[in-house]
Amino acid sequence: MRNIDITKKRIGIIGGGQLGKMMILEAKRLGLYAAVLDPAADCPAHSICDRHVIAGFDANEGYFELADHADVITYEFEHINAEALQILENRGHLVYPSVTSLKAIQNKYEQKNILNRNDIPVPRFAAVAGTDEIREYGEKDRFGYPLMLKTATGGYDGKGNALIHNEREIENAYRLLGGGAKGLMVEEFVDFEKEISIIACRGIDGTRVIYPIGENIHVNSILDTTIVPARIGDTAINEAASIADRVMEVFEGVGTFCIELFVAKNGKVYVNEVAPRPHNSGHYTIEACFANQFENHIRAIVGLPFGNVRLISPAVMVNLLGENDGAASLAGLEEAYRDPDVHVHLYGKACSKTGRKMGHLTVVNSTVDGAVEKARRAKSLVRVIGW
């Protein structure tokens, strides 16, 4: 048997936000060294990392410096400099998930093309160059209205999307999304019953594990609540799980991925998008599964077998968003903690902004209904206010 001291491995993470911080917490459980690249001196991961490279995400320099302090590089978000990572990968640095899978996912249009080519169901979509083409897809015999317009790159939390209800809204939507500077695509509007997501992990050797399915509720295009297990029928559950497994195969992802899907009112399941990283909708795994999405991500990228992804108990996760702008302060924690099923996570962001993700809370309970009720109560108590 080979004797490898895994604890000597150094992990480099691009992005020191809450996802990077939660990756480090798990890396530390295994005694690993963790370096972070983030331009913000006080980013959430700063307080617990071994080294912080303070540099931007656009230029190459920060990536190269991070690589000097890492045996394996990973990332907490996908809008990063893939060319810098490509140079590092070419020089023999380990980057997981691979730069090929990152590039395939960075562009939503390319991502959908790959899924479509591999017979993975997605809503009908098309690249569009200008308003005339958008108008064509709005016609009844094409996708019709309402019609989704999306930027191909750079979108998150719905910021690259516009829903067009009729022809008169086209010009405005086109301008709102930057007039094509980031590439544009149209997509048929899915009249969905539920939005769901699946956290899946794939190892360097191709081994895959799939977490239980979460049901997601978005408010203003930002994730508000995840309920697990998702309240959908067995057919949709099996279909979604098999789609997620195929997605992991297609992208040859190493690490934790999130596959967001729609369950349409007609019962069909479609992939909305794939994220090559742990995801907000997988935070429930911290309390509700034996091995959480961050632990299995770290295990994957250092070449260890996966921990058990089984659900211990139903769970509900609710995001804690900043209520206004100002220095962040927290209210209601003591009262919320009178219920021992409530678990609050605060990301350590000094500044609150309206709608900014400041933390989340997870409630575990023996029933889904019980967890929903307790989460609703806890959310009304715990508030992040700016002063």
Residue nearest to ligand ADP according to CB distances in the complex: 190
Instruction: Note whether 35 binds ligand ADP by CB under 6 A.
Output: no
Q: Which two tokens stand for residue 245?
A: 């497994």
Angle between helices 99-106 and 108-117 (to 10 degrees): 110
User: Cβ of residue 54: shortest distance to ligand ADP, in angstroms?
Assistant: 27
Quick one: which of 266, 317, 265, 260 has its CA closest to 288?
317
Q: Which of 18, 74, 107, 272 binds ligand ADP (CB under 6 A)?
A: 272
**C-alpha span between 322 and 370 (Å, rounded):** 26
Minimum distance from CB of 125 to ligand ADP (Å)? 8
With contacts defined by CB under 6 A, how many residues of the chain interact with ligand ADP?
Answer: 19
The sign of the torsion formed by the CA atoms of 242, 246, 249, 254 equals: negative
Residue 177 CB, shortest distance to ligand ADP, in Å, is 11
Closer residue to ligand ADP in complex, CB, 156/290: 156
CB of 108 to ligand ADP, least distance (A): 7
Q: Angle, to 10 degrees, between the axis of helix 61-68 and the axis of helix 82-90?
A: 40
162: Cα within 13 Å, side-chain hemisphere: 20
CB of 218 to ligand ADP, least distance (A): 5
Q: Are 50 and 35 in contact (CB under 8 A)?
A: yes
Distance between CA 110 and CA 103 in Å, rounded? 9
Task: Return the structure tokens found at 229.
Answer: 């297990």
- CA distances, 42 to each of 36, 53, 274 (Å): 12, 12, 29
Question: Strands of 351-352's sheet, edge to edge?
Answer: 351-352, 326-331, 383-386
Q: Which residue, 301, 223, 320, 218, is CA-closest to 257?
A: 301
Tell me, residue by residue from 174 to 203, as one string, x for binding to ligand ADP by CB under 6 A and - for no binding.
-------------x-xx----x--------
78 in contact with ligand ADP (CB under 6 A): no
Give me the least distance between CB of 261 and ligand ADP, in Å please: 10
Q: Does 156 contact ligand ADP by CB under 6 A? A: yes
Q: Interface with ligand ADP includes 123 (CB under 6 A)?
A: yes
- Cα–Cα distance between 106 and 101 in angstroms, integer? 9
Question: What DSSP string runs through 293-306?
Answer: HHHHHHHHHTTPPP
CA–CA separation, 64 and 77 (whole Å):
18
The binder of ligand ADP chosen from 224, 249, 273, 339 (CB under 6 A): 273
User: Minimal distance in Å, beta carbon 105 to ligand ADP?
Assistant: 11
* Least distance between ligand ADP and beta carbon 102 (Å): 15
Q: Which is nearer to ligand ADP, 52 or 108 (CB)?
A: 108
214 binds ligand ADP (CB under 6 A): no
Q: Give me the amino acid identity at 266.
A: N
Kindly tell me which residue out of 157, 167, 245, 339 binds ligand ADP, with binding defined by CB under 6 A. Answer: 157
Part of the chain binding ligand ADP (CB under 6 A), chosen from 54-62, 150-158, 226-234, 378-386: 150-158
Shortest distance in whole angstroms from residue 373 CB to ligand ADP: 24
| 221 part of the interface to ligand ADP, by CB under 6 A | yes
Tell whether residue 231 is a contact of ligand ADP (CB under 6 A): no
| Closer by beta carbon to ligand ADP, 183 or else 203 | 183
Rule CB under 6 A: which residues touch ligand ADP? 123, 148, 150, 155-161, 187, 189-190, 195, 218, 221, 260, 272-273
